[in-house]
Structure 1
């Protein structure tokens, strides 16, 4: 076993040194176990060698070389184990001899080993061959090292690598929000004073969990106080970059506080307003600290009265009091700096702007749906005001009034904002700069909102293509001269000169062309009016709680109607009344007898069988065509090649939406009814959807938060509020101004 290290490296030449050392140590441990009188009775050679084999395979080894090594090791270890077991039959198991009674008595006088390890924060967390062993491993350091190893393995192979981390790290994490917040943003008194809050990260690589690289030698620069829109196609890795920043996997300076709005909060009995207040862990921690200090000061005053003035006890208490007073002053300064006394009114204003009434602010968080809990998460982040605020598609769960309020709020946000969004209007409202993520790189468009980024990028691509084509023509010209006169004595010197010129030319890459995505909704045959009419429609889930009252609406083949208003005001309910899924309590809904309606549901995925392919699902749900016809139809919505034959659970959210749009067309509807159709679509998909809807010859009713699509497609804005649905006198931009005027009047839009 002396040359085991060499054997491992020969079997896996590309093995990481740390993994190699671990493997060698593990094999040596198994070898030692075969010679131990106790361990040899428990060791399982085949099981141990299977573990070593998996470890080496995950480290990038080849199966035939590893099998040869494992076979050799198994033979050697089995022989040693058999020799030791034969020896035990002759000498007996010395481990079963009784200990001297004096030794036992001496040990009884010592601290119990388990209590000693408990003081060292050790835990029974290593499992090996059925025995429990105590661990004193620093799990944070181990986790950091494991991430480094996984990254090295992934980078070296540049493909999918399943790296098995230490079993210490496989246990479920039960860390609460407060602990996580303080780990990411440690509370330190005065340490950040005068320090720059700009972020500059140079030449880093970034990988997703399966080892796929999404950024290569990239640089990220975020100037403090700027608001950056991070854009790019679906699946390019934008959310992964945000998560890496939020967990400080990238080297963000410690004095810069970070908060990431990524997922909804867990529901419990905490009122919504208190949940927002609790989000500022610094404030909560400082208030508790202040309370503890004041309690101790009161206790010192009582103790001091029990001793004589000038005694050593009094001097000790006075020194402690001085330290407490100093620390209390630091705590109070921090609380004043964060305006702790104004916290409740600030939290209430943020919640009100995001759609929470005074009544709902006092409801427990568990009473809210997923969408409203996402709003709570957003409110908590805005309340904390971190130095770096990370937002991932914040508009997906918001309605137009809430998005309008959020955009207005962020326009006066003093710290740095990095937001992933495909909502053009939202980015136009808030972004001071755009970062375009593509081709494993980040391109910067400084001082640009989305529209100026889009036009600038088009111009940049044109210039790159022109430069590339000119160089290709020049290269071709040089190469033709070289090929013609290389062996001509009279022209050889000129040919050599052109060879040198060709070698010195910089290598230009052809500019990438965005994939062109087009949607096509089939034109329906014409119907004679009336097509669809609502007269005096009233609806409530119970007669004593009316949601909509006296709604009158006329829908024609050329209608382009957008429903706006706060969440919970009845927009989706109205769509379901039109679809005949709900029956009105009063009033009349009339439909043309030949009317066909296509419905795109907000949660359209729920109606899909994700275990089958798009082609199979469509042939079952909408029979009557050949597989080739379904594939061709899916192709018109961007589901090309083999995508239509993959299981739909493997498709991205945007691709699933495209399948749903394709299915929507199969019935050739006269009217399209859409509930949040823009969710999950990237910029190309949104453009394709808007263009297809503009070209559609039937009627459109849409509930959407995407101002750009509403502006492009719809010419009527209907607002659902205060128990009724009425046409708004103006376009979507007029409606946004109306929302802001209400917010200003209520005093919920922040002003500096």
Structure 2
């Protein structure tokens, strides 16, 4: 047994034989390709993390350093010297072939300064180089992208209005409306928008919708970076990056966004310190009075309460608001970024999937809060209920253009359907009219008595507007594996209790009872931090319980989609490469067929993961999960980043699946489509709720109203 095998079996006791053989093969077969622990991590890090999702990235990197030490001890790594200039090895080899062949190294320098070459060792070195190149070509054939490949970037071009530009430069443009005309947007060589126009009226709330990969997130980024020209006096805030973790308390992190308040309070302290030290200056006293007036004018005394209300609505209790930002996970820091944006109230607020990080309670609060938003909002969302509640207008991105509709998403769907019907009828009527006129022209083209009529008809056809046929959007299809249902019982949890640390006074769960069959469609809801993801990890065996029993059917194969599964995809490989990494040795046709069943066919299957949209990455993760043909699905927030059409397709795929499903989601539409049982996590237990999602929402509304009245 190799050192690599023993370490892997010790650190990852659940690793299967096929995966173990593959990882050891990579380590032993490519030792000379690894110059650092980072190289090893890039090769096998994602695979090891997929074996144990709870294992931190730091511990996997430490393990890769351990593998590097083994390679060094085996004499693989030698010191590499950097040359001052390029060297043509092939030419040097030809010139040196006559030299002594018995030297101990390929290149040596004699006392007289002449070079010698060991042709045998040179031949071996060239053979190794050829072998390495063939190996890299083989890897590339299965979808690997060389690390040195330059990733595509987004570009924007715009025809600007000289008059508006001059007004803006002189500071005379005070309009709060945003009008971006005649602009193009591209990502690499792919054109996303062409001759597009975007009008955002001040105080309106716009929902930006469209299929995955069409450029919604890219458009928001171009606006935020001002690569598309908007008036300079309009403040823009794009909620995209999570808050940096440091020692700043959460509530102070939010308050810091009000730079004017922070400046005035700092100046107030400086003036008071000067006056208290005995400085007699009437100018300072007057400035202090002006500072107090300015603080009163911006209602600085209410700022802490306002920040606290926003944080509480987004799930931060009183204790959490005082915790340093570095103590929160990435998801909670994204909530902090959202809280900061809501607190600072920019003229244009850009939100990209704001509900992804929120539970149902926080989503309801955010919907209510944004309905009274005083400035302009442009939000990308695939949450149907959110789009029905918040936007006053919908902007539809399709066919490289932007089309605006009044009303919420429900009204948009009705209007769009009627518009498409009308366009289709108009196109069909014109085609029938053209055919009728053309028939007249063809029949009497050579009839002298009808010559004038024929010419009149030809001119009439030339003047008719050219209508394009209405393009039908392709229907999104997702397909889970065809499996045979298992006889019950399939999964049973009895009196399970769990805590992360034995020292914790209270467990995460206590006395949980849960059972599932091949017909189960169990949806789990609850506040963030209540233990939904923890419960799923217990079910799939990633976490061990302290009390209770878990009984699984001996034929059970669980497919687990983790909440952050997308983050663990290797960005430097293609979609095909992702599947080839985890399931090596299969034909490319099988990988592409699997990707095709999740809407990633044709050129998409050969794109790098880094170039895909968030929704397309989610589809890759789903395809990866289903390669092992599971007969029971455990899905943790699978709708994150998926567009509305794909979420609908996911609902249809779940209902068509012959195995059981346990699902954690905050998407109300999906829950209503697939849910047969609703389980609520909270108060250190899991309970079934009669009345389903509607009853749970009534409970949430009552709690929100009770908190707002305090």
The answer on 1:345 being equivalent to 2:305 is yes
The answer on 1:592 being equivalent to 2:553 is yes
The answer on 1:377 being equivalent to 2:337 is yes
The answer on 1:410 being equivalent to 2:410 is no
Query: CA separation in 1, counterparts of 2:436 and 2:271?
Result: 82
Residue 358 of structure 1: which of 315, 318, 325 is its match? 318
Structure-2 change in CA distance of 1:220 and 1:337 (3 Å): farther
Q: Which position in structure 2 is the counterpart of 1:78?
A: none
The answer on 1:259 being equivalent to 2:237 is yes
User: Secondary structure of 2:499's partner?
Assistant: strand
Residue 648 of structure 2: which of 687, 692, 695 is its match? 687
The 5 A counterparts of 1:202-351 are: 202-208=180-186, 210=188, 213-291=191-269, 302=280, 325=286, 332-351=292-311
The answer as to whether partners of 1:349 and 1:748 remain within 8 angstroms in 2 is: no
The answer on 1:509 being equivalent to 2:468 is yes
Deviation track 1:463-508 (CA, whole Å, cap 9, x = no partner) reads 1122122222222332333344344321111111112211211122
Q: Which position in structure 2 is the counterpart of 1:426?
A: 386
Q: Which position in structure 2 is the counterpart of 1:479?
A: 438
User: Secondary structure of 2:251's partner?
Assistant: helix
The 5 A counterparts of 1:146-165 are: none
The answer on 1:734 being equivalent to 2:695 is yes
Residue 510 of structure 2: which of 523, 540, 549 is its match? 549
Structure-2 change in CA distance of 1:748 and 1:196 (3 Å): farther
Query: CA separation in 2, counterparts of 1:204 and 1:285?
Result: 40
Instruction: Specify which structure has the bigger relative contact order, considering alpha-carbon pairs within 8 angstroms and separated by 6 or more residues.
Output: 2
Structure-2 change in CA distance of 1:357 and 1:682 (3 Å): same
Residue 465 of structure 1: which of 404, 417, 424 is its match? 424
How far off is 1:277 after superposition? Answer: 0.4
Residue 532 of structure 1: which of 479, 482, 491 is its match? 491
Q: Which position in structure 2 is the counterpart of 1:653?
A: 614
The answer as to whether partners of 1:564 and 1:703 remain within 8 angstroms in 2 is: yes
How far off is 1:329 after superposition? Answer: 6.5
Residue 367 of structure 1: which of 321, 327, 332 is its match? 327
Q: What TM-score results when the alignment is normalised by the length of structure 1? A: 0.67
Residue 597 of structure 2: which of 619, 636, 646 is its match? 636
How far off is 1:209 after superposition? Answer: 6.4
The answer on 1:603 being equivalent to 2:581 is no
How far off is 1:708 after superposition? Answer: 1.5
How far off is 1:229 after superposition? Answer: 0.7
User: Secondary structure of 2:604's partner?
Assistant: helix
Query: CA separation in 2, counterparts of 1:483 and 1:337?
Result: 80
Query: CA separation in 2, counterparts of 1:505 and 1:296?
Result: 81
Query: CA separation in 1, counterparts of 2:569 and 2:708?
Result: 45
Q: Which position in structure 2 is the counterpart of 1:566?
A: 527
Which piece of structure 1 moves more, 674-683 or 609-618? 609-618
The answer as to whether partners of 1:258 and 1:386 remain within 8 angstroms in 2 is: yes
How far off is 1:528 after superposition? Answer: 2.1
How far off is 1:231 after superposition? Answer: 0.7
The answer as to whether partners of 1:353 and 1:748 remain within 8 angstroms in 2 is: no
User: Secondary structure of 2:318's partner?
Assistant: coil
Q: CA RMSD in A?
A: 3.0
Deviation track 1:698-727 (CA, whole Å, cap 9, x = no partner) reads 211011122211121112221111211111
How far off is 1:553 after superposition? Answer: 0.8
How far off is 1:685 after superposition? Answer: 1.4
How far off is 1:730 after superposition? Answer: 2.5
Deviation track 1:637-664 (CA, whole Å, cap 9, x = no partner) reads 2111133344444433322322332333
Name which one, 1 or 2, has greater alpha-carbon Rg. 1
Unpaired runs of 5+ residues, structure 2, are 1-154, 160-167
Deviation track 1:342-374 (CA, whole Å, cap 9, x = no partner) reads 111111111111111211111111111111110
Q: Which position in structure 1 is the counterpart of 2:447?
A: 488
How far off is 1:208 after superposition? Answer: 4.4
Deviation track 1:505-542 (CA, whole Å, cap 9, x = no partner) reads 11222222212111122342232221111110001112
Structure-2 change in CA distance of 1:485 and 1:348 (3 Å): same
The 5 A counterparts of 1:32-111 are: none
Query: CA separation in 1, counterparts of 2:230 and 2:588?
Result: 51
Q: Which position in structure 1 is the counterpart of 2:361?
A: 401
Structure-2 change in CA distance of 1:590 and 1:203 (3 Å): same
Which piece of structure 1 moves more, 293-302 or 665-674? 293-302
Structure-2 change in CA distance of 1:243 and 1:293 (3 Å): farther
Which piece of structure 1 moves more, 335-344 or 264-273? 335-344
Structure-2 change in CA distance of 1:337 and 1:446 (3 Å): farther
Structure-2 change in CA distance of 1:300 and 1:543 (3 Å): closer
The answer as to whether partners of 1:202 and 1:217 remain within 8 angstroms in 2 is: no
Residue 631 of structure 2: which of 644, 666, 670 is its match? 670
The answer as to whether partners of 1:482 and 1:499 remain within 8 angstroms in 2 is: yes
Aligned residue pairs, count: 545
Unpaired runs of 5+ residues, structure 1, are 1-149, 156-184, 305-319
Query: CA separation in 2, counterparts of 1:736 and 1:474?
Result: 55
Query: CA separation in 1, counterparts of 2:267 and 2:347?
Result: 23
How far off is 1:403 after superposition? Answer: 1.5
Query: CA separation in 2, counterparts of 1:728 and 1:528?
Result: 26
Query: CA separation in 2, counterparts of 1:713 and 1:374?
Result: 29
How far off is 1:332 after superposition? Answer: 4.7
The answer as to whether partners of 1:678 and 1:686 remain within 8 angstroms in 2 is: yes
Q: Which position in structure 2 is the counterpart of 1:520?
A: 479
How far off is 1:631 after superposition? Answer: 2.4
